[in-house]
Amino acid sequence: MEPAVYFPVTTTPLAMRAGLQPFGVDLGNGERDAHFFQRDEQRAEYQRQKRAVVDDRHVVVADTDAHRAVHGAALRFVRERLHAEHGTALTELADLADGHALAARWQSVADTVQEDMALLHRGDDDDGDTIMLNVCFPSGWRPERLRRASFTEIHAPVPDFVKDPRASRSMVRSMVERGPYVRFVWTISADDVLDHHPEHGRRRPFDDDVTDGFLRIERQVTVPFADVGGSLFLIRTFLRPFSSLDVDERATVREALAVMPDEIAAYKGLTAGRARMMALLDRV
């Protein structure tokens, strides 16, 4: 089955906002838009690239009973959804054994799905506490540095995202108590490598030798576990070559790049190559 197709680009100046939508609404992909874990013909390549990521990049924290309760609720949800959506039986997730071998259990999930994952415990102050990260395909950030990071700390580098602590705590409460939600973010890359870790990944510069660019889209889903004060965050990365976009889509991406605020272009690493990207979009 071909991957689901999304196009979250608009011609209005890009602003880094939450943009949460109710999960499960048909966005043009039928029942797959109601799947938490999408599976398609690219699965083997995703698994291959995941296997190339060193274990040191992954984070699991289970210091307290509250942490272990969140892990347990999330793993049960994953097991149930994978069985319901794909008939996948992950029996090794059934027994938490007082928090032992949690890292191995989450790795079993990561090896099965195409999504990256993060797990949040709301904490005493509603600022969030990151207790699991299995992110193999970051877009230029370092997951291993976010062990026990708060929601505010995670998003501190993002221009205009959440600067008011009260707004940050409100978003954490929404992720834990309401939903599930889905949101989309996008950027541009010069290669089809999924892992853009700043040190261990590989990200090609947008130089004159690049003959086709890629629209890089993340489908991000939040899953609430209000009874234990946690939320699972799923990230599925899609790559759409410029050459696969239709005329209207290419024009929209070009205009979005033209009006993108300089601060956001710098954050996304698009400043140096922006003119080249726009020229390719004109030429394809």
What residue numbers bound the domain in which 30 lies? 21-283
**Is residue 6 one of the residues assigned to a domain?**
no
pLDDT at 168: 76
Q: Taking all residues of the chain, what is their mean pLDDT, rounded to a whole number?
A: 89
Measured at the CA of 161, the angle between CA 160 and CA 167, to 5 degrees, comes to 115
CB atoms within 10 A of CB 51: 10
**Is residue 49 one of the residues assigned to a domain?**
yes
Q: What phi and psi values does residue 238 have, to the nearest 5 degrees?
A: -120, 145
Residue 17 is which amino acid?
Answer: R
Whether the pLDDT of residue 15 is over 70: the answer is no
**Is residue 7 one of the residues assigned to a domain?**
no
> How, if at all, do strands 116-121 and 59-60 pair?
unpaired
Rounded-to-integer distance, Cα 8 and Cα 282, Å: 20
Lowest mean pLDDT among 11-15, 45-49, 59-63, 279-283: 11-15
**Is residue 265 one of the residues assigned to a domain?**
yes
Please state the pTM of the whole predicted model.
Answer: 0.92
Whether the pLDDT of residue 3 is over 70: the answer is yes
How many folded domains does the chain comprise? Answer: 1
**Mean per-residue pLDDT, 167-180:** 88
**Is residue 5 one of the residues assigned to a domain?**
no
**Is residue 261 one of the residues assigned to a domain?**
yes
**Is residue 2 one of the residues assigned to a domain?**
no
Which own/partner pairs from 125-128 qualify as long-range (CB within 8 Å, at least 24 positions apart)?
Answer: 125/169, 126/169, 126/172, 126/173, 127/151, 127/152, 127/165, 127/168, 127/169, 127/172, 128/152, 128/154, 128/168, 128/172
Whether the pLDDT of residue 163 is over 80: the answer is no
pLDDT in tens, 214-269: 999 999 999 999 999 999 999 999 999 999 999 999 999 999 999 999 999 998 88
**Is residue 48 one of the residues assigned to a domain?**
yes
Give 240's strand partners.
Answer: 215
